[in-house]
Every structure is written in structure tokens, then in C-alpha cells.
Amino acid sequence: MKSIVDPSALFIDLGAQKRPTVISVVGAGGKTSLLFWLAELLQASGRRVLITTTTHMFMPTSHWPVVFCRDPAMLPHASLTSPISFCFHSWKANQGKVQGFTPEAIDALVQRPECDVILIEADGSRGMTLKAPDEHEPCIPKSSCCVIAVMGGHILGAKVSTENVHRWSQFADITGLTPDATLQLSDLVALVRHPQGAFKNVPQG
């Protein structure tokens, strides 16, 4: 966080002055850690943050409150007044994960006045280093004003396969790589730029 000179200025160049700022995170493993880092950074600048998901994520272990409900747009005011809070649809104890809401439910939540920032884990990757989306992925709310795609840059120059790439078939179609090929920067560029790649389903605007 020390490298961020002015946390309050984050995302303002993306039309994110509107309240709440809705940020969706997609792509490879590391999304949950990024969400928590962003939440603490944004909360430190005085913004109230809500974290949720349109898929599944591991149950948060932080001290911030966790709320479960069927419809987040109908939550009582007091449920959303913590500096950082989590909101999910249900808890899957056998998986250690929580289930989130549809993108439409989160779009409705945006109409609530309590939150300054809504952070959304909008994709799954089974913790793998790289990921290409399947036909039904990612699940990004239309209200998102910023979408961040996570990739494991440390894998550059290493071999890629089903062991470290989630949705290998889609990844291979986009990059043209075969199993155990060496990953080049141009392959990551292809994943970013391809219409079915890292930023698939990003809302217009």
C-alpha cells in the first residue's frame, strides 16, 4: 500500500466518481487476495466497501462482518454500515465456500446508498495461474465501471498445460499454444485482446 501515493484517487479516471464504484475482478488465481487488498486500501481512504461475488469464493476469515441473504437489495440499512463488509447468498460448508448473487441482483444492490465501493469476484479459476473463460463466463454485473483481469505473470517463460491453466481448451484456441509450450508475453497479449479472452463480457461504457 505504501506505493499508492493517494488511495482516494484510485479509479477516478474511469468514471468511478459515481457512487458506488463497482469493480469486478476476473481471471486467474489471486482474485480474492486482490479484493481484500483493494478493500483495505479503499477503506483506509475513507470509503465504505462491500465485497461479494457472482460465483463462489472461499469463506472470508477476516474480522469484518459477513451477511447472508436472498436479496441484497432488500437488506436493512444496518447490515451495510461497516467500513468493510461481505454479503453472500449462501454458505456451502462441504466446500468451504460461499455462493454469491446473479449479476442482476448486484445491479439492483447498486441502487442502495450505503456503500461507496462494491468489489465483486466475478469469475472462478480453481486457483490456477492462468485462465480463459468458458461460454458462460465471466459473470460481470452491467453496473461495473471497472473490470480487472488477474494473470500470473510469473509464469512467463515457463511451460503451460492443464496443470496451470484453467479452461485449457479455450486458452489453446485463443493463443494457439499446445501443451507444454513455453509461454511468451505475446500469448498474454493475445489473451487480453481476444474478444473471448480475459475481458470477455465486459460491459460497454
Q: Tell me which residue of 189, 185, 191, 125 sits closest to 158, measured CA to CA.
A: 185
CB-based contact 118:73 (threshold 8 Å): no
Cell numbers representing residue 129 in the block: 495461474
Helix (H, G, I), strand (E, B) or coil at 174: helix
Helix (H, G, I), strand (E, B) or coil at 77: helix
* Any domain includes 1: no
Strand 56-58 versus strand 97-99 pairing type: antiparallel
User: Rounded to a whole number, what is the distance in angstroms from the first to the last CA of the chain?
Assistant: 29
* Any domain includes 13: no
Q: Tell me which residue of 10, 74, 16 sits closest to 39, measured CA to CA.
A: 10
Tell me the whole-structure pTM to 2 decimals: 0.91
* Any domain includes 108: yes
* Any domain includes 7: no
* Any domain includes 3: no
One digit per residue, the tens of pLDDT, for the chain of length 205 reads 456 666 666 665 555 456 799 999 999 999 999 999 999 999 998 999 999 999 999 988 888 999 999 999 999 999 989 999 999 999 998 888 999 999 999 999 998 889 999 999 999 999 999 999 999 999 999 999 999 999 999 999 999 999 999 999 999 999 999 999 999 999 999 999 999 999 999 998 6
Task: Please give the residue range of the domain that contains residue 149.
Answer: 18-193
* Any domain includes 186: yes
* Any domain includes 200: no
Q: How many Å is the maximal CA-CA distance in the chain?
A: 53
* Any domain includes 11: no
Total domains present in the chain: 1
